[in-house]
Each structure stands twice: as C-alpha cells, then as structure tokens.
C-alpha cells in the first residue's frame, strides 16, 4: 500500500485517544476514514473535528457501532461499503479497562472487558474479512504491552490483551494466503483519556496518539514483501521519579 490516497479505513473506537490519532494520520495521507463509537453524537462530533484538522480533502464519517455486538459491527462494514464501495484498512482499536484485585473484580466488569477488548476484535475482522480479501487489505489490532506483561489488579485487562495478541497472530497466519496483511501494535503508556485519565503536560514523556498514527502509516507504506506482525511500542524514557 505504498500509495494510500483514496484508500478506505474503518477505525473502531475512533472518536478519541489512539483511534482519533490514527484517523488523523490516515486522513493526512488522503485515506477516507470511517470512525465508530457507541455514542453516535460523539462519533459525528469527532468526525467534524477530524475534518477540520485534516490537511487533505479525504472524507471522514462518524457512525454508531458497538464492537461487543457482531451485528452492529457488520452494519458498520456495510455502511463503509455503501459509502465508498471498498474497504482497505481495518483498525480494531476500541477498548476499555477495569482494574481491580480478583477479590473485587465483578463478573460484569470481567465480561465487559472481554466482550469489548477481545470479542470486539474478533467481530471486527470477522465482519470485514470478505471485503479485505477483495482489496488485499490490512487489518491492525491495537493490543497493549499488557498483552505480554501481567500485573496485579490487571487480570481482566491482561486476559483480554493476551488474547488479542494471540488471536491476531493466528489470524495473520490464516489470512496471508489471501494477501491480507495482519499486525498487532502493543503500546505501553499513551497520553489519552483511557480509564478516566485527564492528559496534561505531565504526560509529555508518554507515547502520544499521533505517534501510533505515524506508526500505522509506516506499516501501511512498508514494502508488501515484509510484515511486522507484532510491534511493541514504549516511551523512550520512563516517567521521572
């Protein structure tokens, strides 16, 4: 995909954070983008903001979709195809985190984490695989360093992200024969609103959402013969003590 102009991307959870940063990077390369959120108003507002920030005339559309429901994700893909006639790039980014000791973690928190972070990635590729076959496209999941490094209080989140990493690597092997490239990006600390965090100047040491956007663009432009299938990304320097 050395030439990205007029390609079409679908980004789940694209109304904020990493998804928003990736969307802007793709728009600036001339990629048409559809972002999703469970909140339709939020998706449309983010799309307006992205259009203002974009340096190209590429289109961006915000739609309501819930990655926890296969039928909802299918409708999102159908919307992309009805608007643009093709789907070249899927970024499975939607995610959340519940962090608590196993003594305090509720069954509802466990289920929501798995449904969103892991099943949501499955639904994203399952609903788009036929379109990606036609375009010989690219599927990227956003996992986490928590998908290889476990920590106390992270049982649900660790389980979901370990699952995303393993799932995406297996899908990569499944889809190579169709000339679909599959990667998972595993970021460390990113300056976003994740888990009710409010980004500030003190987050300057962290990865920024636009950095992940730049990485996605680099992956898409890489020579087709080469596939970085699993990419760990961390801040260059740790937080100051």
Contact between 75 and 51 under an 8 Å Cβ cutoff? The reply is: no
- Tell me, yes or no, if 123 is annotated catalytic: no
Contact between 38 and 65 under an 8 Å Cβ cutoff? The reply is: yes
Identify the helix (H) or strand (E) that includes residue 141: strand 138-142
Contact between 12 and 33 under an 8 Å Cβ cutoff? The reply is: no
DSSP single-letter state for residue 106: -
Rounded to whole angstroms, how far apart are CA atoms 199 and 187?
A: 16
Rounded to whole angstroms, how far apart are CA atoms 80 and 192?
A: 27
The CA–CA distances, whole Å, from 5 to 31, 91, 138, 193, 241 equal: 5, 17, 15, 30, 44
**Tally of helices (H runs) and strands (E runs) in the chain:** 7, 7
Which one of the listed residues 70, 123, 138, 157 is annotated catalytic?
157
Active site residues: 157
């Amino acid at each position: 995909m050395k030439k990205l102009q007029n390609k079409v991307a679908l980004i789940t959870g694209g109304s904020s954070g990493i998804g928003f940063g990736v969307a802007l990077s793709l728009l600036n390369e001339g990629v048409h983008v559809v972002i999703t959120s469970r909140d339709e108003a939020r998706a449309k507002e983010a799309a307006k903001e992205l259009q203002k920030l974009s340096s190209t005339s590429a289109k961006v559309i915000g739609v309501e979709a819930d990655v926890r429901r296969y039928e909802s994700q299918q409708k999102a893909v159908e919307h992309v195809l009805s608007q643009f006639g093709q789907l070249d790039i899927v970024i499975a980014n939607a995610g959340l985190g519940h962090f608590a000791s196993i003594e305090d973690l509720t069954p509802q928190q466990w289920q929501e984490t798995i449904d969103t972070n892991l099943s949501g990635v499955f639904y994203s590729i399952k609903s788009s695989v036929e379109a990606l076959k036609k375009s010989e496209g690219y599927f990227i999941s956003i996992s986490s360093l928590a998908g290889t490094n476990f920590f106390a209080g992270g049982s649900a989140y660790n389980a979901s992200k370990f699952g995303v990493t393993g799932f995406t690597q297996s899908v990569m092997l499944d889809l190579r024969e169709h000339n679909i490239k599959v990667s998972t990006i595993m970021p460390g600390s990113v300056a976003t609103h994740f888990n009710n965090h409010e980004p500030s100047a003190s987050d300057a040491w962290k990865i920024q959402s636009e950095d992940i956007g730049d990485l996605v663009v680099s992956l898409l432009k890489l020579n087709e013969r080469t596939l970085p299938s699993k990419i760990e990304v961390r801040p260059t320097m740790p937080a100051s003590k």
